Amino acid sequence: MKSKIVFAVLFFFVLINFSTSVSQEIQNPKSKIQIHNPWVRVAAQGANTALFFVIENTGEKPDTLISAESKIADIVEVHETYAKENDMMGMREVKFVAVPSKSKVEFKPRSLHVMLIDVVKDLRIGDKIHVVLTFKHAGKIKVKAVVQEMPIMGGMKH
Amino acid sequence: MISFYDKILQTISYFLVVKKSISGYRVFFNKLACSTMKKIIFITIGIFVFFACGEKFEVIEDFGKEKYKLINQNGAEVIFPDLTKGKTAIVGYIFTNCPDICPLTTNNMRLIQERLKKEKVEGVNFVSISFDPENDKPDVLKKFAEIRNLDLSNWTFLTGQKLVIDSVIKKAGVVAVPGDSTIYPDGRKIYYFVHTDRIQLVDDEGRVRKNYPGSKINVDEIVGDIKSLVD
């Protein structure tokens, strides 16, 4: 009986430690750059889709998003949607996104997004993907995003 | 083109002018005992009010006499707008390589469909027309709908020959021109369209009655418009 209890307690601690290490792998809470509410839009294999999130720079220095990469798509680029006259909408690549100190930059529908071109598998609601965002100063930040059709509602999650 | 609201204003102005005229020339009318003239004036006003109130939405474009041979998501040949004739239709214009605006437009159409279903409003069809037929083959459109769990019981996705598609979108007032592109390491090129962000309200005779920016519609507004057109 005792050994079972000891085993259960040990298993519990191992589980806690494992889950903590997984979350740390995704984002370093000490980083001055935090990524909130990442979500990616539903897409069929071979199609394109977009990843959205909020970048928060809690530091005293500005930083810059310079690239994004993921195994989920053949090509990953930072894009922005723009409006023209007569309800015309277009999209273009942006080479970098500045994130001023003590500020937030929102990647959202009809605006900035990470473009996932030619996704390698179907992305259905509830699926999760991994993306690495590279900042000039903060370096590489791993992001785990959930597949949604619409933005995640509610407050920001840290 | 005179809008519904312009007509209302015209009607009110007309009333005011006529009223002033009548009071100003009452003596003249009495003297001439011109009752026939009075009748003509009031009949004219009546006809004007009847037409102003009866036509809530102007006719922007008329698909009614056209017969575009297109292909639905199942690969079957259909005639647009015949497939929606007799029903009010919500028509959206998309391309499936679009990661942002077109999925928003599609999702907005889904929200309208769900709302109409909830409110038990019947007699409405949904149509999504691709302006990128070279990429959007029927199976691509089918997968686009399937992965979003769209209810296709009253929703059709259409593609077709480029020349036909070009005619449809031109008639619809939709512009789609290839814009920026991404080039694969092997040299392949993906192009993105700069395009009109549009959903249209089409009546049961195939006439376009109102345009909306597809990716940012007000669902309450469009559902209200549909109801007034269906009623």
Residues B223, A149, B185, A133: what is their CA dihedral angle, to the nearest 10 degrees? Answer: 130
Residue A158 near residue A29, CB atoms below 8 Å = yes
Tokens of B127: 């149509």
CA nearest neighbour of B227 among B124, B152, B156, B108: B124
Residue B92 near residue B199, CB atoms below 8 Å = yes
- Whether the pLDDT of residue B69 is over 90: the answer is yes
Tell me whether residues A91 and B179 touch, CB distance under 8 A.
Answer: yes
pLDDT of residue A8: 60
Planar angle of CA B127, A151, A133, nearest 5 degrees: 120
Q: What is the DSSP track for A39-59? A: EEE-B-TTS-EEEEEEEEE-S
Q: Which residues contact A98 (CB under 8 A, 6 or more apart)?
A: A62, A63, A64, A105
Residue A16, CA atoms < 13 Å, CB-side half-sphere: 6
Tell me the mean pLDDT in the region B78-93: 96
| CA distance linking residue A51 with residue A73, whole number of Å | 11
Backbone angles phi, psi at A51, to 5 degrees: -110, 135
Tell me whether residues B97 and A113 touch, CB distance under 8 A.
Answer: no
Tell me whether residues A87 and B184 touch, CB distance under 8 A.
Answer: no
B186 touches chain A (CB under 8 A): no
| CA distance linking residue A114 with residue A107, whole number of Å | 8
- Whether the pLDDT of residue A156 is over 80: the answer is no
| CA distance linking residue B33 with residue A94, whole number of Å | 78
Higher per-residue confidence, B38 vs B54: B38
The percent of residues in chain A predicted with pLDDT above 90, rounded, is 73
- Whether the pLDDT of residue A88 is over 70: the answer is yes
B219 touches chain A (CB under 8 A): no
Residue B81 near residue B63, CB atoms below 8 Å = yes
The CATH homologous superfamily of the domain defined by B61-230? Glutaredoxin (3.40.30.10)
For A32-148, CATH gives 2.60.40.1890
Cβ-based interface (< 8 Å): residues of A facing B = 41-44, 47-50, 74-75, 77, 79, 81, 84, 86-93, 109-110, 113, 115-118, 122-125, 149-150
Q: Which residues contact B72 (CB under 8 A, 6 or more apart)?
A: B78, B138, B156, B157, B158
Amino acid identity at B212: Y
pLDDT of residue A11: 54
- Whether the pLDDT of residue B132 is over 70: the answer is yes
**Interface predicted TM-score (ipTM) over 0.90:** no
pLDDT of residue B41: 64
pLDDT of residue B48: 52
Domain range list for chain A: 1-30, 32-148
Tokens of A149: 């059709």
Query: pLDDT tens for residues B97-130?
Result: 999 999 999 999 999 999 999 999 999 999 999 9
- Whether the pLDDT of residue B28 is over 90: the answer is no
Q: What is the 3-class SS of chain B, one letter each residue?
A: CCCHHHHHHHHHHHHHHHHHHHHHCHHHHHHHCCHHHHHHHHHHHHHHHHHHHHCCCCCCEECCCCCEEEEECCCCEEEECHHHCCCEEEEEEECCCCCCHHHHHHHHHHHHHHHHHHCCCCCEEEEEEECCCCCCCHHHHHHHHHCCCCCHHHEEEEECCHHHHHHHHHHHCCCEEEEEEEECCCCCEEEEEEEECCEEEECCCCEEEEEECHHHCCHHHHHHHHHHHHC
pLDDT band (50, 70, 90) for residue A151: confident
pLDDT of residue A73: 97
Tokens of B41: 């004036």
Query: pLDDT tens for residues B208-229?
Result: 999 999 999 999 999 999 999 8
Query: pLDDT tens for residues A27-56?
Result: 677 789 999 999 999 999 999 999 999 999
Tell me whether residues B97 and A77 touch, CB distance under 8 A.
Answer: no
- Residue pairs between chains A and B whose CB atoms are closer than 8 Å: 94
- Whether the pLDDT of residue B194 is over 90: the answer is yes
Q: Which residues contact B181 (CB under 8 A, 6 or more apart)?
A: B189, B190, B191, B192
pLDDT of residue A100: 98
B-chain residue closest to A109, CA distance = B100
pLDDT of residue A17: 44
Residue B43, CA atoms < 13 Å, CB-side half-sphere: 6
Mutate to test the interface with B, among A42, A51, A84, A91 (most CBs of B within 10 A): A91
Higher per-residue confidence, B51 vs A34: A34
Residue A62, min C-alpha distance to chain B (Å): 28
